[in-house]
Amino acid sequence: MNKPDPLARDLVKCEDMRLNAERARRHLGSRTLSAFLSDALVQDAVIRCVEVIGEAARQVSGSSRQRAPAVPWTLIIGMRNILVHDYGEVDLEQVYRVAREHLPNLLSQLGDLIAELERDTGWQGEKDE
């Protein structure tokens, strides 16, 4: 059995991060902090997306992380650890701030990293027929 290309694996994990950041932003929509705090369903959805972002970030190799030093890898993984392991201590206002203020920057940073990984892995994408 062939071992997968580490860069291709990193590309998949970065795509997972991007997709879940976009999903978290859609779940949050234009809700205010007050509306977010009063909607447990949206809280759960956004928290789950942030957990997945952190887990995917944890699995990105050090060499690929070094390609995007502006991405706060340690903070992203730390947030995931708090959400998963210290779920009784989750600061919902912080979750809201992450989704509202930090995910747009992350999406931009990931776009650049994903483009670089696509180039270096020779990924062509799906062709329209």
What amino acid positions are annotated as catalytic residues?
Answer: 80, 85
Cβ of 103: how many Cβ atoms within 10 Å?
Answer: 25
Instruction: Please check whether residue 27 is in contact with residue 42, taking contact to mean a CB–CB distance below 8 angstroms.
Output: yes
User: 3-state class of 40 per DSSP?
Assistant: helix
Q: DSSP for 15-34? A: HHHHHHHHHHHHHHTT--HH
